[in-house]
Chains A and B, each alone.
Chain A
Amino acid sequence: MKGTWADRLLLLLVLAGIGISWQFVHVLAGKGEAMVTIYHGQTQLAQYPLHAHKPVHFMAKGALGDSEIVIDHNSVYFLESPCRNKLCILAGHKHEIGDIIACVPNRILVAISGAAKRFDAVVE
């Protein structure tokens, strides 16, 4: 269960790599006002502020059909999806910068990122 010294060294290296990548992702996601961006493949379908005054219901046209995405109460979630397993709906509500929901069968991605560009965030 404990593994050899080589196993533990390997675990240490892997954990260090994960820590560095976590920091990198944090910088990449940006800072400032949280924005919800909806993509289908390489195409950006829409972008809304996460903290909108009115609820937003967006129908994203994907590979299988329309996914209904809702932005409400400072969170974003999938309400309906034509995919089989509905994992995107089960992913629940996301409300922080760096959070994403992906519907792989329908090729829809919802990402929350900072309005400030990543290089601005680095300079800050």
Chain B
Amino acid sequence: MQVKALEMIRPSLEELQHKAQWMSLLMLAVSMHVLEAGLPGLGPWLKPGLANVITLITLVLLGPRAALALAIARVFTGSMLIGTMLTPTFVMSLSGAMAATLTMLAAWRWLPGISLIGISLLGAIAHMLAQFVVVESLFIQQSAIYYLLPPFLLISCATGWINGAIATYITPRLFHRIHE
């Protein structure tokens, strides 16, 4: 009786593998988040968005729900580690990560002919736009802040494209390793 009950609550090997993979990717994403926070001179506005590469890989390997959960968990864990929890930086990171992930999920599902590069590009643009909207509406409250938007979007285009190329290179190799 007890053995049967234990078997019912014990997760399957596949489920455990899925969780282990998600945790590994989360640790990688948190490392990227912390690394980016330490980069000199770029600050919370401009980051290479390397953590977004991991979100993209998670989307392909483990699905949309896992990718969204990873993006949120990454911001919370990363912010606790670098000491920015509940600061404006945290709000900007969370809004940017959520907007980027939701945009990438939508593009992955509904945009035909688009590769990981295009998905990453859209994610980077959404990330930057969300950050500006949040900063304008919650902190600065002046539309002059949008003077900065065009050059920042241009940089997002470049980083989004490069990150998409990195994800395109890594994903099939990682997928092969996982399913070997």
Contacts and interface: CB of A to CB of B under 8 A. Distances in A.
A100 B150 contact: no
Given A4-B113, A100-B148, A14 B140 contact: no
A48 interface: no
A42 to B, nearest CB: 5
A39 B114 contact: no
Interface residues of B, number: 38
Interface stretch (B73-81, B94-102, B116-124): B116-124
Interface string A15-50: 101100110010011000000010101100000000
A105 B135 CA distance: 10
Given A28-B147, A111-B144, A113-B144, A3 B161 contact: yes
A104 B139 contact: yes
Contacts, number: 109
Nearest to B144: A111
Interface string B128-163: 000000010001111011111111011001000100
Interface residues of A, number: 35
A10 B87 contact: no
B115 A3 contact: yes
Contact of A109 (B45, B142, B154, B165): B142
B84 to A, nearest CB: 9
Interface string B80-117: 00000001110010000000000000000001111101
Main secondary structure of the interface of A (DSSP, over half): mixed
B35 to A, nearest CB: 16
A3 to B, nearest CB: 4
Contacts of A15: 154, 157
B140 A90 contact: no
A123 interface: no
Contacts of A52: none
Contacts of A1: 117, 165, 168
Contacts of A18: 150, 153-154, 157
Contacts of B140: 39, 41, 102, 104, 107, 109
